[in-house]
A and B are shown apart, each in its own frame.
Chain A
Amino acid sequence: MKNILVIAKNTFRETIRDRILYGILGFSFLYIALSILLAKVSLGEIVILKSFGLAGIYIFGSIVTIFLGASIIHKEIERRTLYFVLSKPVSRLDVVLGKFLGLFAAVTLVVFIMTIVYLSVVLANGGGFDAPGLLAIFFQTLEMGLFTALLVFFSTIATPLTSTIAAVMILLGGHSISSVLRTASQIGGPLYRFIQAVYYVFPNLEKFNIRNIAVHNIPVPGTSIILTVSYATLYIAMLLYLANFFLKRKEL
């Protein structure tokens, strides 16, 4: 456990010093400023503001996750910095878990900063303390945790470019798989069974999307929260298990 936290701390430190992060954060603040302007010209402005704000946190959080995560382990293998670590009493599982925790901590920090700005903007525009929005951001952070684990996994088997492309495809597919399944159920037959199999394997990212509910202040049932957290935890555990499986077999 100690080595996992040491690696996580090192990964976090390295990650938050990446200048790309500050560029992306800068763009996110610009986006929030633009959304304030957009809300001013719309009727029901607070709903528009919240929608754009939450969407912005999601988009920029995802960009940060993919940018930082796509090469997280691959880079260490290519540059042989992993040799420093694995020649010490550290297992490959320690590396996988440490890298995941460190990167996820960095992503969570970015989301936290954007959340503070978002909540301040909503408060300043008469929206009060946006508790449902906070829940939506929590769910988004869970999704980014799943994505971080996905990228750690890809990073053990693919190049950064392949990891990035695969991650973007899964991001898009994961949000549309439910509606594709619904359409396929009307067609039936082997296609439906195939889509059903993909549905159960593919991460269903729509489970983490409660933005529409949050902006209209509709409460989310407690069981839904528990199920979503459990789903994320199990999927993350499975991805990290696979990452360790492949890293153990990789010739460095």
Chain B
Amino acid sequence: MIEVRHLKKSYGKRVVVDDLTFTVRKGGVFGFLGQNGAGKTTTIKMLVGISNPDQGTITIGGKDSSDLSMRENIGFMPEAPYFYDRLTGLEFLSFCGELFAKHKSRSEYEEVLKRLGIYDARDRAINTYSKGMKQRLGFAQVLVNDPDYVFLDEPLDGLDPLGRREIKGIILGLKKRGKTVFFNSHILYDTEEICDEIGVIHEGKLLYSGPVKKFCDGWPLEKRFVETIEKQFVTGNS
């Protein structure tokens, strides 16, 4: 389970995340939705320990996010990732794998690449990979330690329809294996297909957290999302 309590983060005087509290149940897919600049990436960076909150607590699998050992059990893919271009795919994956206490053999890393369909390119430099291949390599380093908790920042962004289908398939596959998936997105149509629960963030504040069906209430997710955000604008202006 992921538990976030009263999370707050400011950059200078600007409050970017304001008193976030939500829970992500184990084994589910949680979509964290919001417009650009809403605070999604800041939140996910705090969850995986790249950034420190000003206030609040984050617990993942019973461990505080500031505990380095917590990261043995998580995988994270940043938005639009860059890689070490002069490394090969296998070298990069091995590098990521070796940073964990329990790392694998070369053949096990190759298995991960096979599962993601980039085995044939394992000995090619990453700067020769297509965007879709890089996205899959990003996923490979997420899965290299077989984590229980997977964090993805905009995993569907910039992909063509076939690429999005592949990534959605991977996410659903992770769910089948009992992994907990937390991902940011502003692509609502795809999110609706794969999420069990969602959180909606706007200007750093959490507007909703819970089952996606309850939020949608029979309407398309995008319609309900826009309505919810617009209501905030009206409330803010009145």
Name the one of B11, B50, B95 contacting A83, with C-beta atoms under 8 angstroms.
Answer: B50
Whether B99 contacts A3 by the Cβ 8 Å rule is: yes
Interface residues of A in 59-92 (CB under 8 A from B): 79-81, 83-91
Chain A residues whose C-beta falls within 8 Å of the C-beta of B95 in the assembled complex: 6, 9-10
With a cutoff of 8 Å between Cβ atoms, the chain A residues found around residue B74 in the complex are 87
The answer to whether B81 and A89 have CB atoms under 8 Å apart is no
Stretch among B64-72, B159-167, B170-178, B207-215 lining the A interface: B64-72
Interface-located stretch among B82-90, B112-120, B181-189: B82-90
B71 to A251, Cβ gap below 8 A? no
Contact across chains for A14 and B84 when beta carbons are under 8 A apart: yes
The reply to whether B84 and A89 contact each other, CB–CB distance below 8 Å, is no
CA distance A160 to B45 in the complex (A): 25
The majority secondary structure among interface residues of chain A is helix
Please tell me the size bucket of the interface on A.
20 to 34
Contact bitstring A171-212, B, C-beta under 8 A = 1, else 0: 000000000000000000000000000000000000000000
Given contact pairs A6-B98, A6-B99, A10-B95, A87 touches B86 in the complex (Cβ within 8 A): no
A87 to B91, CA, bound (A): 18
Partner of A10, one of B71, B84, B101: B84
When distances are taken between beta carbons in the complex, the residues of chain B under 8 Å from A14 are 84, 86-87
Complex-state Cα separation, A6 to B95, whole angstroms? 7
A81 to B87, CA, bound (A): 13
Would A88 and B99 count as touching, CB distance under 8 A?
A: yes
Contact A84 B87 (CB under 8 A): no
Task: Kindly state whether residue B48 has any CB partner on chain A within 8 Å.
Answer: yes
Contact A86 B49 (CB under 8 A): yes
Contact bitstring A222-252, B, C-beta under 8 A = 1, else 0: 0000000000000000000000000000011
Interface hits, B124-161 → A, CB 8 Å? 141, 145, 151
Query: B51: CB under 8 A from chain A?
Result: yes
How far is A251 from B96 in the complex, measured between Cα atoms in Å? 22
Least Cβ distance of A60 to chain B in Å?
A: 21
Query: Least Cβ distance of A44 to chain B in Å?
Result: 45
B69 with A89: CB separation less than 8 A: yes
Q: Give A3's nearest chain B residue, CB to CB.
A: B99
Complex CA–CA separation, A251 to B69 (angstroms): 21
Task: Please report the C-alpha to C-alpha distance between residue A6 and residue B91 in the assembled complex, in whole angstroms.
Answer: 12
List chain A residues, Cβ under 8 A from B71.
87-90
Residues on A facing B (Cβ under 8 Å): 2-3, 6-7, 9-10, 13-14, 17-18, 79-81, 83-91, 251-252
Apart from the given pairs A6-B98, A88-B71, A88-B99, 5 other A-B contacts in the complex at a CB distance below 8 Å: A18-B86, A83-B45, A83-B76, A84-B141, A87-B50
Which residues of B pack against A, CB within 8 Å? 11, 45, 48-51, 68-69, 71-72, 74-76, 78, 81-84, 86-87, 91, 95-96, 98-101, 141, 145, 151
The 5 closest A-B pairs by CB, nearest first: A87-B76, A79-B82, A17-B86, A83-B78, A87-B48
